[in-house]
A and B are shown apart, each in its own frame.
Chain A
Amino acid sequence: MTTEQPAVVLIIDDEESVRRSISAFLEDRGFTVLEAENGRIGLDVFRRAHPDVVLVDLRMPEVDGLEVLSTIKRESPETPTIVVSGAGVISDAAEALHRGAWDYVLKPIEDMAILLHAVEKVLERTLLIRENRKYQGQLEERVKARTAQLEAANAMLRQQMEAAERADEERARLQEQLHQAQKMEAVGLLAGGVAHDFNNLLLVISAHAELARGRLSRESDIGGSLEDVLRSLEMVEQAVEQATGVTRSLLSFSNRLPVAKRATDLCVGIEEASRILRHTLPASIELVIDTGCEPAPWVNADPTQLQQIVLNLAINARDAMPGGGKLRISVSPPATDAVESAPSRTTGKHIARLVVSDTGTGMPPETQSRIFEPFFTTKSRGRGTGLGLAIIHGIVQDHGGQIEVHSEVGSGTTFTISFPCVSQESSNGEAVRAPSRPRGHGELILLAEDEYQVRAIVAATLTSLGYEVVQAADGDALLECFQRHQSKIKLFVLDVDLPRRSGLDCLRDIRTRGVDTPAIVISGSVDVELDAQLDRDTILMRKPFQMSELGRQVCSVLAAARGRHKAKV
């Protein structure tokens, strides 16, 4: 229905006077009115004309109003129907509404305004229903379109996710392959590097051993050769020490070994390292050692690692000077680090500098930027592992220092390593700084545990902490030990599950004798009832526990027992 066209009203009533009066009234109000004198004709008109509203009487010949209502509801449920009937009984009204009538107006119609109101109301309702349906239809369309969009996006996302998953799997697989390859490469390079270093040192050892043998065999002929022999033996010892250093550095590189730092005169450390160089560098290389600085620069360093720094830098310098040249190793006296511009530095600190410079081939900037990367090397295969400078970098960092490189192609390379200075007396050993561990004073502890290894480890822990320990492997032995040392025992450390008699059973036996010596009961089970079985002088330690934890617990229990004892006195 549109506002431009008048609404069409179909009146189905067998009383002509009624049809006429309603028709006249509605036409006056702008409606187009169709009329039918019975139900059958009414339905015919309805099917042909598709009126906007149908007014129908209930009592009619042939096809009555109720049937008309049912038919219209079935064929066109959106067409409003209003019953206009004189049969004013409730059952008729109920039946009419049941069959689809939208409203009910009683005849005779005393006030036509009531009918008009009813007609307008149903038309308005129809309009609203249609608009609502149209809106719903549009909404459904939009939802359908949006759903389609979302489904498409979802499908695309799923595809992307599947692709990403496949890519992840592929990346993981490649990473694993790369990891394996790197591992093998690292193993090969490490093995090669170690073999190379050791071969050098073995060469030094065998050469000096041969020299010593030769000199000894000629001793009878040449006087004073014993001194040379001693010098050769000294060199052998140094090479052995160096080999130990190589092993130590490798272990340190793989985080296996703590470094042994101590207050070291940097000059002395470097001189020792340099001595071996004099015998290993080719004659074409002039070695200049300048360590005569005053005052002595004391640094907190591992001397073996200092040697390694010098050796590695010297080997690189040697390789950079195949035709010979000058290698200079110098140490500068402590200076205040106030003029440095590097933002990471703490100014005002005393630092000592180790400078290693050569007159070799030098490096272009792109090589300089990568030299501290592990496995980066410019040497030919088999000549270098690419680990030397990475190790040095690690060592310098570990010593709180910094390493800088300056190089020019054709002019040579200079490495400057700065170490923070310390006082001569200071020692940075871990033992000095570590907090003191709780220690005993010879208190006797009765330890009962059936597993030999566990008992031995616990006994070792307790004795190392300064306690005396007597051991028992089962319940009977525990009670025997108790009888023997009763007055001296300051603490029981018992496993719950001892053979012959359980630890708790033994403890109960001991307690009945009036002994309130503290006890630590060890249990590997998750028996929640266990706590309830313990007396106030006994504590429970559940496995797993660390030995350091046991040490603390023993110390704390004994301290508490001493406190109780003092309170009693």
Chain B
Amino acid sequence: MSTPISIMLVDDHALVREMLMERLGRESGMQVVATASNGDEAVIQAKAFEPDAVLMDADMPGQLCFDAAKTIKMLLPRTLIIYLSAFFHDRYVEDALAAHAVGYVTKDEPPDAVVAAIRKAASGVAYFSPKVQSRIVIDAAGPTLAHPSKSKSSCLTRRESEVLRYLARGMSKK
């Protein structure tokens, strides 16, 4: 019997973490070895547990999850990064690609999609929606996204987007 895929879950919502832990725990060949509720914690936990795969929420407070992923990849180059996000946003997908992610699952997909993404990533096959995948451009510097959409949110800086996300979560402005 082969070694199970060790997984770290990173999501600031405890309910989501617990749901995923419960769901992945039922899968054979998968083991959730660590959880974290933000990017900073994720880096610490990754160092301690060296998971095969990190399933990370793309929309968390604290150190930006994409920066955390880059740090984890630097420390553990073989660790696979898979993003879980509320929606497909070109900027997020681009950031995920830049953070060497091999998967991007949206939360409106069934939990089976998360399982499939982890299994695919572990077998060397990326998991992006077909619509996103066909737009990926392989450049000399790595994968990027062709024709990123010009949504109104693109007028916000990265920091403004981050602050808005905090506000949307009901966090204090102070």
Chain A interface residues toward B at CB < 8 A: 179, 183, 186-187, 191, 194, 247, 251, 253-257, 437, 451-461, 463-464, 469, 471, 522, 524-525, 543-548, 550-551
Contacts and interface: CB of A to CB of B under 8 A. Distances in A.
A457 B130 CA distance: 11
Given A454-B142, A456-B124, A457-B102, A183 B155 contact: yes
Contacts of A191: 164, 167-168
Of A254, A257, A453, A454, the most chain B CB neighbours within 10 A belong to A453
Contacts of A456: 102, 121, 124-126
Nearest to A449: B138
Contact of A546 (B86, B120, B146, B151): B146
A248 to B, nearest CB: 9
Given A251-B87, A254-B151, A459 B125 contact: yes
Given A179-B155, A453-B102, A547 B126 contact: no
B137 A547 contact: yes
B164 A453 contact: no
B128 A457 contact: yes
Contacts of A179: 155
A547 B164 contact: no
Interface of B: 86-89, 97, 100-102, 120-121, 124-128, 130, 133-140, 142-144, 146, 149-153, 155-156, 160, 164, 167-168
Contacts of A550: 138
Nearest to A256: B151
List 10 tightest A-B contacts by C-beta distance, closest first: A524-B140, A456-B126, A544-B139, A460-B126, A548-B134, A457-B126, A456-B102, A459-B125, A254-B151, A255-B151
B128 A453 contact: no
A471 B87 CA distance: 31
A183 B133 CA distance: 31
Given A187-B156, A453-B143, A460-B120, A544 B149 contact: no
Contacts of B127: 460
A458 B137 CA distance: 10
20 contacts: A183-B155, A251-B87, A255-B149, A256-B87, A256-B151, A454-B142, A457-B126, A457-B133, A457-B136, A457-B138, A457-B143, A458-B138, A461-B136, A524-B139, A545-B137, A546-B134, A546-B137, A546-B146, A547-B137, A548-B134
Contacts, number: 106
Contact of A464 (B97, B130, B137, B140): B130
Nearest to A257: B87
A543 B143 CA distance: 10
Nearest to B154: A254
A179 B155 CA distance: 9
Contacts of A543: 138-140
A464 B101 CA distance: 18
Contacts of A186: 152
A542 to B, nearest CB: 9
Contact of A255 (B87, B140, B152): B152
B125 A546 contact: no
B110 to A, nearest CB: 15
A545 B136 CA distance: 8
Nearest to B164: A187
Contacts of A183: 155-156, 160
Contacts of A463: 125
B16 to A, nearest CB: 16
Given A186-B152, A460-B120, A524-B139, 4 more contacts: A257-B88, A454-B138, A454-B143, A543-B138
A460 B142 contact: no
A522 B128 CA distance: 22
Nearest to B127: A460
A194 B169 CA distance: 12
Contact of A461 (B120, B133, B167): B133
A452 B73 CA distance: 12
A547 B87 CA distance: 21
Given A543-B139, A546-B137, A546-B146, A453 B126 contact: yes
A187 to B, nearest CB: 6
Nearest to B155: A183
A256 B151 CA distance: 7
A452 B160 CA distance: 33
Contacts of A469: 125
A437 B130 CA distance: 11
A545 B138 contact: yes
Nearest to A548: B134
Contacts of B101: 453
